[in-house]
């Protein structure tokens, strides 16, 4: 698996096994993750020992069963992967982050699956669709990227179709943001005879806007959205 570029501790990138809930650094994403852990009660402060900044577990934190969480994604150009990594920063300790090719069939022993996809012809891409076929009886949430505006009717229809593919599960949330379109796809479509998507002024403007995404605003929105998802699940018990 490719090395993450968002500052997540290396021991959270693959298996999620951590010695401390977070590494305290000046990185903005790590600060947000540490603040999240403090609010949860997992850690109470940060101490510097032997040049290593580590978070200290809260002694008052109830030691109940931790919900095993998996964040996995299908990503062709890196758009969806980057959003998944951002979401991972606000997930519980020991959360696993990995591409969908490495995710356990059917979700394995994970209690909560956060599944990422990129929109292809109005539906989740082929790898994501294939993975969803074997998932039953899980709590899941989606995140995705698309070239269209995320508040458009097209985006809402894409979300509906994705959730229809997960009817045998409990869908706990769904986040979409815009993402730059693969240049090879644009080139291929431009060469198509009777192109169903001609390059109108509006479409050109949308493509240009998509090139700016996903960006830090999108990452922050994703983190905030999934913080709310976890908070809601916590209160539901």
Average pLDDT over residues 60-77: 77
Tens digit of pLDDT for each residue in 152-165? 999 999 999 999 99
Do the domain assignments include residue 143?
Answer: yes
Give me 231's structure tokens: 């908070």
Helices (H) and strands (E) in the chain, counts: 7, 8
Do the domain assignments include residue 29?
Answer: no
The residue with greater pLDDT, 113 or 195, is: 113
Residue 38: which residues within 8 A CB-CB, separation 6 or more? 44, 45
Do the domain assignments include residue 6?
Answer: no
Do the domain assignments include residue 121?
Answer: yes
Q: Which domain holds residue 100?
A: 65-179+214-236
Neighbours of 94 (CB within 10 A): 16
Do the domain assignments include residue 108?
Answer: yes
Find the CATH number of the domain harbouring 99: 3.40.50.360
Do the domain assignments include residue 115?
Answer: yes
Task: Return the SS3 of 223.
Answer: helix
At 194, the pLDDT band (50, 70, 90 cuts) reads: confident
- The answer, as to whether pTM is greater than 0.85, is no
Do the domain assignments include residue 200?
Answer: no
Domain total for the chain?
1
Tens digit of pLDDT for each residue in 27-39? 444 555 455 444 4
Q: Do 113 and 132 contact (CB within 8 A), yes or no?
A: no
At 86, the pLDDT band (50, 70, 90 cuts) reads: very high
Do the domain assignments include residue 225?
Answer: yes
């Amino acid at each position: 698996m490719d090395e993450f570029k968002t500052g997540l501790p290396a021991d959270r990138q693959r298996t999620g096994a951590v010695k401390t809930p977070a590494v305290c650094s000046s990185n903005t994403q790590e600060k947000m993750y540490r603040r999240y852990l403090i609010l949860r009660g997992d850690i109470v402060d940060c101490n510097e020992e032997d040049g290593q900044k580590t978070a200290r577990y809260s002694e008052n934190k109830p030691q109940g069963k931790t919900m095993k969480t998996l964040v996995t994604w299908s990503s062709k150009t890196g758009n969806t992967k980057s959003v998944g990594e951002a979401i991972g920063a606000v997930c519980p300790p020991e959360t696993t982050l990995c591409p969908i090719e490495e995710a356990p069939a059917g979700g394995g022993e994970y209690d909560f699956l956060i599944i990422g996809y990129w929109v292809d012809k109005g539906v989740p891409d082929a790898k994501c669709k294939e993975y969803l076929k074997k998932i039953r009886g899980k709590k899941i949430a989606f995140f995705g990227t698309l070239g269209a505006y995320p508040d458009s009717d097209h985006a809402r229809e894409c979300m509906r179709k994705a959730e229809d593919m997960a009817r045998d599960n409990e869908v706990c949330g769904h986040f979409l943001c815009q993402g730059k379109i693969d240049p090879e796809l644009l080139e291929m479509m431009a060469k198509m005879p009777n192109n169903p998507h001609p390059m109108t002024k509006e479409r050109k403007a949308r493509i240009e806007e998509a090139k700016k995404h996903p960006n830090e605003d999108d990452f922050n929105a994703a983190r905030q959205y999934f913080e709310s998802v976890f908070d809601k699940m916590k209160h539901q018990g």
